[in-house]
Structure 1
Amino acid sequence: MPTPTGKSTRAERLAQPLAREVAEQVAADHGVCIRPVSLRRTDIATGRTEVIDVPCGSTLESRCPACAKRKRSLRRTQCEEGWHLDTEPVIQPDPPTDAQRAWVEQRAMVTAERDRLAATGAASAEDLAALDAAICDLDEEITASGLRGSVTRSTDTATAKPRRVRSTKRRQDAPDLPKRPMTRKTVGRAYTDPASGRVFRPSLFITLTLDSYGRVRSDGTPVDFSTYDYRRAARDALHFSKLVDRFVQNLRRVAGFDVQYFAAVEPQRRLAPHLHMATRGTLPRAELRQIAAATYHQVWWPNADTVRFDGDHLPEWDASAGTFLDPATGELLPTWDEALDALDENPDAQPHHVVRFGRQVDAKGVVAGSADADRCVRYLAKYLTKDIADCHASETTRQEQHVDRLLEALRFEPCSPRCANWLRYGVQPDEAKPGMRPGFCRSKAHRREHLGYAGRRVLVSRKWSGKTLADHKADRLAWVLNALGVTTGDDGQDDGDNPRPAPLTVASGSYAWELARPTDPDVAPRERRLLRAVGESLKRRAQLAAALDPEHSATPEQEAA
């Protein structure tokens, strides 16, 4: 209540909701991006410019709830459409256009002339350099014409590093796997019920976890912090994505066909990453357990168990030599390639780390259209909008201590060949640079929100649904425009009063696009843009509702009320 003088106190004012935050909440409730990106669109013919806001496209709910919700919904659609396909997805590239063929033919002529002159010695070094520059320009034109990849592979063998080849012989402590002849199909086997004649094409929902690092409580914290193997937990999290790749390879070899999958990575309560995977087709559970037990990934890196430099005693950068050296002896530290060469030459060398799955393998058969199928799809997308660390909130002191101990183990653990932590163990990182310091690697694997896992949260095989995520998004947009009766032109603009932004390129059709800064005079404040976007969203929803159900449609004012 106001004071007798009619003025509110500071505590009362602080208790009042902040208008700016309420605007963000209202925008998020109506599916509007709260961090829009302003783009300036210029009509090339008339020179008229206008600022258009596009969604930020964030996948994290903590940054933008509306964009994260749309991304999760798209992933659910992608999972549902590809899980129980009964026909092979057809993925055929479009035929090349005349312009694309002309660019490739011109590239062939210049390449042939360049090779002829180089072989006969009839051209100087300057002439060959000019032809090489012309070839580079042609490659850029070929890419700009819409062709994927490169016409030729790189032939510069002078600067290319030789590929390290290691023995593919299986470890003695890993069981062998059965292998079936491969068939070119992605659809699983169908079964017919003899009683009803109904055809079933079941699929699998598989859950894989990592091994134990020590006994844990019900809240995921260790029973004994001192005996919990945090180093192995950190290394397993860093290399978990490679282990998943090995599992998919072994799964396809045993199944005998190109198994397609949709997988999501999330942490357990003990903070170890584990995998939920929907696969098309089935395998016996005994074979799945055998595949998980036989799957491993060896990390052939230099040894990182003995600390050589710590505290203030750290390697120093020699600017003249462009390398790190021991500050006490002045000895140059071995480079990354030298350390790998020494590892190759040692017949008794052991891998830096071997990551394996745990014994727990859960596999559940799922039939298309069942309640289990819908429940599994929802579970796959459950944590996609959260950081790894936010999936299971730390509510107690023990949980906070568990996170802190894991982060401390990750802080000095090398995450890649370029990680600065290699200096701690007396090895120069690959492509070493001045300023590197152990414990301060900028990779996201060392950040609290990732807890060691820096890979993709969603893993989708190429032939899962025959569509990319952009294709699924385009399908939704086409459905909405069709319901509203809106037609689009060749330049991607509709015929309504509010044109859609074209693809985010420098020049698209008759428009040129550039990023607009918040400080530009023609860019409105963010709060005003949010309110305008909410109003447009309500208007579009009312139009869509009227198109779907004309008899019970509401006006924009009624929809807003």
Structure 2
Amino acid sequence: MPTPTGKTTRVERMAQPLAREVAEQVAADKGVCIRPVALRRTDLETGATEVVDVPCGSTLESRCPACAKRKRSIRRTQCEEGWHLTEEPVITPDEPSEVQRGWVERRAMVTAERDRLVSSGAASGEDLAALDAAICDLDEEITASGLRGKVAPSSSGSGRSRRIRSTRRRHDAPDLPKRPMARRTVGRAFEDPATGKVFRPSMFLTLTLDSYGRVRSDGTPVDPSTYDYRRAARDALHFSKLIDRFVQNLRRVAGFDVQYFAAVEPQRRLAPHLHMATRGTLPRAELRQIAAATYHHVWWPPADRVVYEGEHLPVFDPSTGTYVDPFTGEVLPTWEQALDALDADPGAEPHHVVRFGRQVDAKGVIAGTPDADRCVRYLAKYLTKDIAECHDIETTAQERHVDRLTEALRFEPCSPRCSNWLRYGIQPQDAKAGMRPGFCRSKAHKREHLGYAGRRVLVSRKWSNKTLADHKADRLSWVLEQLGVTPGAEGQNHNAGHVTPLRVASNNEVWEVARPTDPDVPPREQRLLRAVGESLKRRAQLDHARQTNLSAMEEAA
């Protein structure tokens, strides 16, 4: 209520919605990006400039709900199109052009000349260096011409030899059956003898990590003092490698090139687990056997004994580019030296062994059933949230559980280049000045990721023979078809009205990022309102075009 003087109180004013926030809510509801990136397009012929807003493309709902919703919708489409294929996806490379063949022929001539000089022993170091530089230039030209991969490894080598370890299976891991591999990606078809109907089921699989201690219904440990946070942290750090091993074993047992669409999300106890949709099925007994036999050895130096902590940390020596002991000045072992010592130790144990737990859930899914739709929705359920945002933190016990896991991850090495190796007396790979244990910048150590730094969505290469860009192009083509617009046109008048021209980059234009402080860039709120208005206009055009097309079809019928 207004005061006798006609003014409102501060409490009443604070209770009123903020206009800027309402504008963002309206933009999100209408599918408009709330964090647009301003790009300046300059016409080199006329000098005219135009500021164009492009969506930020964020996959997180907390940053941009509209972009995240579009990303999740495209992922659902990608999952649906590849899950129940009945025919092999056609992957036929285009024929190489004359230009591409010419670059490869030049590469072959230079390679043959270098091999001849090396075999004769008459080549000088300068000659080999010149030929290596020419080969690198040719490789760049080959890639720029549109060819995938490398025609041959670099002559100079990578500088690091690949370490090879024994592939003998662990004694505590069961053996796996192997079947002859068939060159197919489609699963087996079954026929109902009663009706003669042929169906080709697929599979929805859920895999979890092992237990680290008893937990309550809210995911918090019953006894935090005995909960194995170190093993939980290491399992989360190396979970992506375990998934790779599982796929390898799955294909060996299945006997064909199993294709999958998988999503990684956390359980309530904060351990990552995997939901996987696979094309084709396997018996549940074999799936449990594969999960039990799958493991990943992390062959890193031991990191169980703390050597440096607090204020007594290794010091970087700029003259040598190495870290030394703060008391004795002795150079710390490099990463390669630490691995050499590990290889030379006959009784060495792996840094960590990551395995799946006993819980393996699998069920067959038939295309076109409500169960298939539920599984697709479940796969995409948490894709727009951070690992730590998937489950609400409602109690103090849950907050402390997150804090303890984050603290365990703080000093755990996440990669060979992690600065935490200094804590255990080892120089990280490619060490540089400024490294401090506990301050690694990798996202694996951040609270919102909880140790898992890999990709949230895992899609095999032959899943649907389409990338995300292909699915986006399909949606754009559908919209343009409904509106009656030819791609690449500058704009047309039709039943739905005028359409905004499609912007296509060319050699006569230069694109650059525009700063929010530039005088030709309007305020973000004004750009949001303009984008909302254009979105409403395009929606009205599309609805009108669809209604017109529907009426035309009814009249023709």
| TM-score bin, normalised by smaller chain | over 0.9
**2:555 corresponding residue in structure 1:** none
Which segment is superposed worse, 402-411 or 49-58?
49-58
1:119, 1:193 → 2: CA distance?
A: 66
| Corresponding residue SS for 1:549 | helix
Q: Which amino acid aligns with 2:92?
A: Q
Change (3 A) 1:286 1:338: same
1:92, 1:289 → 2: CA distance?
A: 36
| Corresponding residue SS for 2:387 | coil
How much has 1:551 moved relative to structure 2?
Answer: 8.6
How much has 1:93 moved relative to structure 2?
Answer: 1.7
How much has 1:149 moved relative to structure 2?
Answer: 2.2
1:214, 1:437 → 2: CA distance?
A: 32
Which segment is superposed worse, 45-54 or 202-211?
45-54
Whether the aligned pair in 1 keeps the contact of 2:264 and 2:275 (CA below 8 Å) is yes
2:535, 2:506 → 1: CA distance?
A: 25
1:517 aligns with 2:515: yes
**1:239 corresponding residue in structure 2:** 238
Q: Deviations over 1:486-536 (max 9, x none)?
A: 1123xx86657523343xxxx635433222211222211111111111111
2:166, 2:534 → 1: CA distance?
A: 61
Matches within 5 A, 1:125-136: 132-136=132-136
**1:470 corresponding residue in structure 2:** 469
**2:53 corresponding residue in structure 1:** 53
**1:343 corresponding residue in structure 2:** 342
**1:186 corresponding residue in structure 2:** 185
Q: Deviations over 1:322-353 (max 9, x none)?
A: 11111122221111111100000000000000
Which segment is superposed worse, 130-139 or 433-442?
130-139
**2:15 corresponding residue in structure 1:** 15
Matches within 5 A, 1:306-321: 306-321=305-320
2:123, 2:183 → 1: CA distance?
A: 49
Q: Which amino acid aligns with 2:396?
A: T
**1:268 corresponding residue in structure 2:** 267
**1:304 corresponding residue in structure 2:** 303
1:120, 1:372 → 2: CA distance?
A: 68
Q: TM-score, normalised by structure 1?
A: 0.93
Q: Which amino acid aligns with 1:245?
A: D
Whether the aligned pair in 2 keeps the contact of 1:40 and 1:50 (CA below 8 Å) is yes
**1:526 corresponding residue in structure 2:** 524
Whether the aligned pair in 2 keeps the contact of 1:182 and 1:257 (CA below 8 Å) is yes
Change (3 A) 1:118 1:303: closer
2:110, 2:67 → 1: CA distance?
A: 47
Matches within 5 A, 1:1-400: 1-112=1-112, 132-157=132-157, 160-400=159-399
Q: Which amino acid aligns with 1:311?
A: G
**1:557 corresponding residue in structure 2:** none
| Corresponding residue SS for 2:141 | helix
Which segment is superposed worse, 180-189 or 510-519?
510-519
1:445, 1:548 → 2: CA distance?
A: 47
Whether the aligned pair in 2 keeps the contact of 1:216 and 1:270 (CA below 8 Å) is yes
Q: Deviations over 1:279-326 (max 9, x none)?
A: 000000000000000000010111111111111111111122211111
**2:495 corresponding residue in structure 1:** none
Whether the aligned pair in 1 keeps the contact of 2:185 and 2:259 (CA below 8 Å) is yes
**1:500 corresponding residue in structure 2:** 502
User: Which 5+ residue runs of structure 2 have no aligned equivalent?
Assistant: 493-497, 552-557
1:102, 1:233 → 2: CA distance?
A: 54
Whether the aligned pair in 2 keeps the contact of 1:193 and 1:199 (CA below 8 Å) is yes
| Corresponding residue SS for 1:389 | helix
| Corresponding residue SS for 2:287 | helix
How much has 1:119 moved relative to structure 2?
Answer: 6.9
Q: Which amino acid aligns with 1:154?
A: S
1:4, 1:99 → 2: CA distance?
A: 84
How much has 1:83 moved relative to structure 2?
Answer: 0.4
2:4, 2:146 → 1: CA distance?
A: 73
Q: Deviations over 1:12-46 (max 9, x none)?
A: 22222111111111100000001111112223443
2:407, 2:528 → 1: CA distance?
A: 41
**2:554 corresponding residue in structure 1:** none
How much has 1:123 moved relative to structure 2?
Answer: 8.5
Whether the aligned pair in 2 keeps the contact of 1:34 and 1:66 (CA below 8 Å) is yes
1:84, 1:174 → 2: CA distance?
A: 33
Q: Which amino acid aligns with 1:462?
A: R
Which segment is superposed worse, 448-457 or 102-111?
102-111
Whether the aligned pair in 2 keeps the contact of 1:546 and 1:552 (CA below 8 Å) is no
Which segment is superposed worse, 118-127 or 440-449?
118-127
How much has 1:122 moved relative to structure 2?
Answer: 8.7
Q: TM-score, normalised by structure 2?
A: 0.94
Change (3 A) 1:10 1:269: same
2:123, 2:342 → 1: CA distance?
A: 45
Once the two structures are aligned, what percentage of the paired residues are identical? Answer: 80
Whether the aligned pair in 1 keeps the contact of 2:36 and 2:55 (CA below 8 Å) is yes
1:127, 1:303 → 2: CA distance?
A: 44
Q: Which amino acid aligns with 2:32?
A: V
Whether the aligned pair in 2 keeps the contact of 1:314 and 1:424 (CA below 8 Å) is yes
1:345, 1:29 → 2: CA distance?
A: 62
Whether the aligned pair in 2 keeps the contact of 1:52 and 1:501 (CA below 8 Å) is no
Matches within 5 A, 1:448-459: 448-459=447-458
| Corresponding residue SS for 1:171 | coil
Change (3 A) 1:493 1:199: farther
| Corresponding residue SS for 1:187 | coil
| Corresponding residue SS for 2:307 | coil
2:100, 2:449 → 1: CA distance?
A: 43
| Corresponding residue SS for 1:534 | helix
Whether the aligned pair in 1 keeps the contact of 2:132 and 2:156 (CA below 8 Å) is no
Superposed CA RMSD in Å reads 2.1
How much has 1:135 moved relative to structure 2?
Answer: 4.3
Q: Deviations over 1:523-559 (max 9, x none)?
A: 1111111111111111111111111112999xxxxxx
Q: Deviations over 1:177-222 (max 9, x none)?
A: 0000000000000011111111110011000000000000000000
How much has 1:100 moved relative to structure 2?
Answer: 2.6
1:470, 1:551 → 2: CA distance?
A: 28
**1:422 corresponding residue in structure 2:** 421
Whether the aligned pair in 1 keeps the contact of 2:136 and 2:154 (CA below 8 Å) is no
Q: Which amino acid aligns with 2:12?
A: E
| Corresponding residue SS for 1:89 | coil
How much has 1:127 moved relative to structure 2?
Answer: 6.7
Change (3 A) 1:280 1:154: same
**2:547 corresponding residue in structure 1:** 549
1:465, 1:459 → 2: CA distance?
A: 13
Which segment is superposed worse, 543-552 or 307-316?
543-552
Change (3 A) 1:129 1:154: closer
1:16, 1:342 → 2: CA distance?
A: 67
How much has 1:358 moved relative to structure 2?
Answer: 0.4
Change (3 A) 1:137 1:498: farther
Matches within 5 A, 1:404-423: 404-423=403-422
2:509, 2:275 → 1: CA distance?
A: 44
2:234, 2:503 → 1: CA distance?
A: 44
